[in-house]
Structures are given as C-alpha cells and as structure tokens.
Structure 1
Amino acid sequence: MASPPPPARRSYEKALTRSLDRYLDGLPGQLSVSVRELSTGLSYTYNRRLRTATASIVKVDLVVALLLKAQRRHRALAGWERRAAARAVKVSDNAAASTLWSAIGGAPGLAAAHRKLGLRNTTPGPGGAWGATTTSAADQIRLLTALTSPKSPLSAENRRYVLGLMSDVAPEQSWGVSAAGREDVALKNGWLPRPRDGGRWTVNSIGRVRDRHGHTYLIAVISHRHRSMGAGVKAVEHVAELVTKTLSKTASRR
C-alpha cells in the first residue's frame, strides 16, 4: 500500500484544487492541467480524467515518433523530414504534419511510438485525422519527460533537436504555458473549433518553462468547449501561471 503524501504536499494540492475550482466554476468548457517541477519533483494534476482532442500539440508527438523510427534504423533525418518537422512545430503547418503522419505510418506508427514512450491515455485520430488524436494532460507530461530525461528512449541529440524547434515557434504562437515564465520557453500550442462541440474551441498548450526563480517546469494544459479561442487562451494562461506560482512557493519553502 502506497504511503500517504507528506503534509506539505497535501497542503499545496488542496490549495491548488480549491483555487482552480473557484476560477473554473461558471466558465464554459472543461480544463485539465498537469505540471512537474524538475529539480524538486513536485507535481500536480487537476481533472486527470479529462480527455480532449490534441489539435496541433500532436505535432510534437509526430516529430518524436519520426525520430524514434529513424533511431531504430540507425539513421539521421533526411532533409525533407527535417523541413517538415520544423514547419510542423515552428509555424504549426498542417500540410507538414500530414507529411509526418504518412512518414511514421499513420495511426499504427503513432500508437507504436506511444507504447515506447509509455503514454497511457493517448489514442491516434481515425484515418488521417491526426488533430483528432485524444490525450490527457498527464500523458503530455510523459511526452515532455521524454524530451528532458536522460532515461528517454530518444537520444540526447534528438531531445535537443525537438526542444530547439519548440523554442523557436512563431511569435504569434508563443502564448499558453509561457505565461508561467519567460526565461526559457519551449512550447507547442493547439487550437481548433470542433463541430462536435457546436463550434466551440479546443485550446491546448504544452511545454518546458523556466521561471525567474530558476525553477523549471514541464506543463500541459488541455481544455475544450470554450466560446472562443481567446477565452480558451486566457484560461490556459491563467491556470499555467497559478499552478507554477504555487509550486514555486512550495519549492522555496523546502
């Protein structure tokens, strides 16, 4: 039987849950956040059962799957693969993402990468609908861990490569988890109005962020059914900032 978390952890988790409940009460839509501070191991997840479409955050997943496939074959990416990866992550180019989807073997190829990465709640989209892949916030932290941990199935060179792409996204796409800290940001966002939700918006943001206190966080915020993209972005940014500020204060007391 697992031992209970220490009192300090119970305290910050309860405080965060109360704060998020208050903020999200009455707002349209649903949201989940998962975060881990790398130096202390402090972590937190809110609304862990929520699953949303990935929209364009899956583009990081596609690049990772491509790199894992190349590693198995003991080769570097070809020029066209690197160009597609850069366009998919940096400017969120959909045609480039479709090229990557085909290159990894579609849904079966992505599912194979998920097994290698230990993703438990991420299901590739049907047919060629890579943006309809569904995921959890906790799984997105597992993906980010694969980009930052020496225990990752990805080589150190490939981890640096993906984080480099995420550190160079187009300025107009640099919103989201970057609200948690501007010192060192590597992120990818996804946004999509979904007909199945009556045209309401799915808005997601994942990334590695360092704050001004020197704390480095892996953060994933997924959400759906917002009335507008702007409302979704506002909620994602508020939650990312709230959670990391609380964890920063907790870490500083240790």
Structure 2
Amino acid sequence: MGHTRISRRAVAAAAVAGVAVPVAAGAATAEAASATPRVSCASAAPGLAAELQRDITKALAGGTARTAVSLHDRTTGTACALRADQHFDSASTVKVTVLATLLRDAQQHHRHLTSREARLATAMITKSDNDATTALWKQLGVAEVDDFLAAAGMNHTTPGAAGAWGLTQITAGDEQKLLDLLTTPNAVLGGNARAYALKLMNQVVPSQRWGTPAGAPDSAVVHVKNGWLSRATHGWRVHSLGAFTGGGHDYTVTVLTDDDKTMASGIATIQAVSRAIHQDLDAA
C-alpha cells in the first residue's frame, strides 16, 4: 500500500493516506489539456453563468493537466460542466461510493451498521484508510456496488477489476450524481444514510481537507473527500469532491485531474477552480 505525505499549509507535506493499487501501464488515453477549456454553465441568476465560465476558464489557463469539473448549485439554479463525461481512475474518491453502497445495503435490510462496519466506514472516509476500504469492498462485492451504481443512475462508472477499487473508472458527471444523492431527498438513500455520510465527510482529518474546500465561505458547512494516485502512465491523478451546505448554501463541486506532474500541482489546479467557484457563488 502506498502512502503520500503532504503538508496542510503548503498542501504538500503532512501525513495522509493515499490510495493503494498496483502501478500498471495502459491507462486510458487522456485528452491533452486545453489552454482554453470549454466550460459550459447555465444559471437562473442573471450574469452568474458567464462569470463562472470566465473565472473557471481563467483558473485553468496555462495548466497542463486534463481537468474535469462539475458544479450544481440549487440556491441559484446553476450548473457548470467541463469534460464531465470523460473517464478518470477514481483513486480514493471511490470510497464515497463504497460508503453509499454499504448504507444502501443496510437500509434495504432494515438494519443499523455493525460496530465493525461503522469503524471501517469512519476510517475509510475520515482518514482515507485503504485497508478499511479493501475490507468493505470485499464484504460488499462488485455485484453490490454495481447494484448501487444502477440505482443511482451512475451509468458511466465501472468498478475496478480484481479488487483494485482505486482503478474504478469515474466521470465528473457521475460523481455529481453521487453528491446530489447525498444532499437531497431521494429514493436511493434515506435521510439517516445521507446524514451519516455527510457527517463523516465533514470529519475528514485536517491534513486531507484540501481541494474543493479552498475558498469556501466561512458560513458553509464543508463536506469533502479527496483522492490521489500516481501511476506509470499519465502521472498523478488528483481529485476532490465537495458538498457545501448550511448558511444559505446548497451546492456541490467535483474536480478531477490527471496528467499532473506532481500531487501538489494537481491540488493547486483543483483549488484555483474551487476558489473561483466559491467566490462567484458567494457574490451571487
């Protein structure tokens, strides 16, 4: 199992648990990053779509990573997308899917999580513990994960083969569907399940609270799960999922990157995009 160390201040040097999967060649071919990415936004708030499109594009200008973005803000009726249907290795972001699958399984069987499941789920989300994830992945099985994905409408997500959960293929669009399920009433996850998942995402250890929370308003309650993975091809994959609630806020942000030269550069890209989003939404 590989672990990467980054700092909270420089976002590149305190202990955090990285996703562990075998390094393998032959990853999906990545689209070359564009100096002027085509960000698509729509909003019920006058002028907001144009501002977000401009500022997200500016945040990505000059970057070399392939980046996908998805934003959904219910308060202003706003949505933005960039490469939302392109696939990325999930790294540890899949842990939110594992948690949601576990909670749905318990819900369907009208039971509470066992003390073991609760302990593993807490370690998996708050500390990004790989061993806990592997234990839950084996317990649930790929068929159960597939069942959740189908119920969630995450039709472009494919679980990693042979237990390699960190190589699950995800898209920003599907991750946005997952975040929407966690933050709004729906038939897939009940209120208790949603509250439990958000509670754990709110309790992520300080050294792993980088990414989409960068620039979030002080009045927002932050829920986050990040993922990071280096492979022989396409460099670093660095991702961040965030949900921002309370204080009049109700929005979710997904930023996925690969072809990063370093983990720190991937984090910097995500945080530049996130700051632009938070600033524009807060001013709306």
What is the TM-score of this pair, normalised by structure 2? 0.79
Q: Could you say which residue in structure 1 is the equivalent of 2:170?
A: 135
Change (3 A) 1:157 1:31: same
* Distance of 2:151 and 2:215 partners within structure 1: 29
| 1:237 maps onto 2:271 in alignment | yes
* Distance of 2:61 and 2:183 partners within structure 1: 34
* Distance of 1:230 and 1:152 partners within structure 2: 38
SS in 1 for 2:256: strand
SS in 1 for 2:214: helix
Query: Residue 177 of structure 1: which of 208, 212, 215 is its match?
Result: 212
Instruction: Flag the structure with higher helix content.
Output: 1
CA RMSD of aligned residues (A): 2.0
Structure 2, unaligned stretches of length 5 or more? 1-41
SS in 1 for 2:260: coil
Q: Could you say which residue in structure 2 is the equivalent of 1:76?
A: 112
| 1:60 maps onto 2:66 in alignment | no
Partners of 1:31 and 1:50 within 8 A in 2: no
Greater mean alpha carbon deviation, residues 133-142 or residues 18-27? 18-27
* Distance of 1:66 and 1:8 partners within structure 2: 37
Q: Could you say which residue in structure 2 is the equivalent of 1:194?
A: 231
Partners of 1:35 and 1:217 within 8 A in 2: yes
Q: State percent identity of aligned pairs.
A: 33
* Distance of 1:215 and 1:70 partners within structure 2: 30
| 1:109 maps onto 2:144 in alignment | yes
* Distance of 2:43 and 2:254 partners within structure 1: 24
Q: Could you say which residue in structure 2 is the equivalent of 1:247?
A: 281
* Distance of 2:236 and 2:179 partners within structure 1: 24
SS in 2 for 1:179: coil
Structure 1, unaligned stretches of length 5 or more? none
Partners of 2:43 and 2:76 within 8 A in 1: no
Task: Give the residue type in structure 1 aligned to 2:80.
Answer: Y
Post-superposition offset of 1:76:
1.1
Give matches, 1:18-167, under 5 Å: 18-105=54-141, 107-167=142-202
Q: Which runs of 4+ in 1 moved over 3 A?
A: 5-9, 11-23
Greater mean alpha carbon deviation, residues 13-22 or residues 239-248? 13-22
Partners of 2:241 and 2:254 within 8 A in 1: yes
* Distance of 1:8 and 1:202 partners within structure 2: 33
Task: Give the residue type in structure 2 aligned to 1:117.
Answer: A
Task: Give the residue type in structure 1 aligned to 2:266.
Answer: G
Partners of 2:45 and 2:78 within 8 A in 1: no
| 1:17 maps onto 2:53 in alignment | yes
Post-superposition offset of 1:49:
3.1
Count of aligned residue pairs for this structure pair: 241
Q: Deviations for 1:147-180, whole angstroms, at most 9, x for unmatched residues?
A: 1111241111111111000000111001111114
* Distance of 1:72 and 1:215 partners within structure 2: 31
* Distance of 1:150 and 1:6 partners within structure 2: 22
Q: Could you say which residue in structure 1 is the equivalent of 2:33?
A: none
Q: Deviations for 1:190-244, whole angstroms, at most 9, x for unmatched residues?
A: 01112222xx110100021249x73332111111111111111111011012123
Change (3 A) 1:24 1:6: closer
* Distance of 1:22 and 1:207 partners within structure 2: 21
Partners of 1:66 and 1:103 within 8 A in 2: no
Post-superposition offset of 1:13:
3.7
What is the TM-score of this pair, normalised by structure 1? 0.88
* Distance of 2:268 and 2:144 partners within structure 1: 34
SS in 1 for 2:236: strand
